[in-house]
Chains A and B, each alone.
Chain A
Amino acid sequence: MSWITNFLTSSIGRKLIMSLTGLFLIQFLLIHLIGNLQLLVDDGGEKFNLYAQFMTTNPVIKAASILLYAGILLHIIQGLLIWKQNSGSRNTRYAVSKNPNVDFSSKNMAWLGTIIMVFLILHLWQFWFKMKFGTVPPIDYNEGTGPVKDLYTLVAAAFKNPLYVIAYVIGMIVIALHLKHGFQSSFQTLGLNHKKYTPFIKGLGLIYSILVPLGFAIIPIYFYFFR
Chain B
Amino acid sequence: MKLTLKIWKQKNNSSAGKFETYSVEADEHMSFLEMLDVLNQSLLEQKKEPVVFEHDCREGICGSCSMVINGQPHGPNKGTTACQLHMRYFKDGQTITIEPWRAKAFPIVKDLVVDRSAFDRIIQAGGYISVNTGQAQDGNAIPIEKGLASEAMDAATCIGCGACVAACPNASAMLFTSAKVSHLGLMPQGEIEHTKRVQSMVTQMDSEGFGNCSNVGVCEAECPKGISIENIARMNRQYIGSVFGSQTKVEKA
Q: Known contacts A12-B240, A99-B71; is A188 also within 8 Å of B232 by CB?
A: yes
Interface size (B, Cβ < 8 Å)? 54
Interface size (A, Cβ < 8 Å)? 45
A3 to B251, CA, bound (A): 6
**A11 B202 Cβ-Cβ under 8 A:** yes
Selected interface stretch from B42-50, B152-160, B203-211:
B203-211
How many A-B contacts if CB must be within 8 Å? 148
Give the residue of B71, B205, B236, B249 whose beta carbon is less than 8 angstroms from that of A96. Answer: B71
A7 to B202, CA, bound (A): 10
Q: A9 — which chain B residues lie within 8 A by C-beta?
A: 253
Q: Known contacts A89-B209, A96-B97; is A181 also within 8 Å of B236 by CB?
A: no
Q: Does A43 make an interface contact (CB < 8 A)? A: no
Selected interface stretch from A54-62, A101-109, A126-134:
A101-109
Q: A97 — which chain B residues lie within 8 A by C-beta?
A: 71
Taking CB as reference atom, which chain A residue is nearest B252? A6
**B215 A89 Cβ-Cβ under 8 A:** no
**B104 A88 Cβ-Cβ under 8 A:** yes
**A188 B104 Cβ-Cβ under 8 A:** no
Selected interface stretch from B54-62, B81-89, B169-177:
B169-177
Q: Does A49 make an interface contact (CB < 8 A)? A: no
Instruction: Give the 6 A-B residue pairs with the shortest CB-CB distance, closest first.
Output: A191-B237, A193-B233, A89-B211, A101-B221, A3-B249, A96-B71
Residues of A participating in the B interface, judged by any CB pair closer than 8 Å: 1-4, 6-7, 9-16, 82, 85-86, 88-99, 101-103, 106-107, 109, 181, 184-185, 188-193, 195
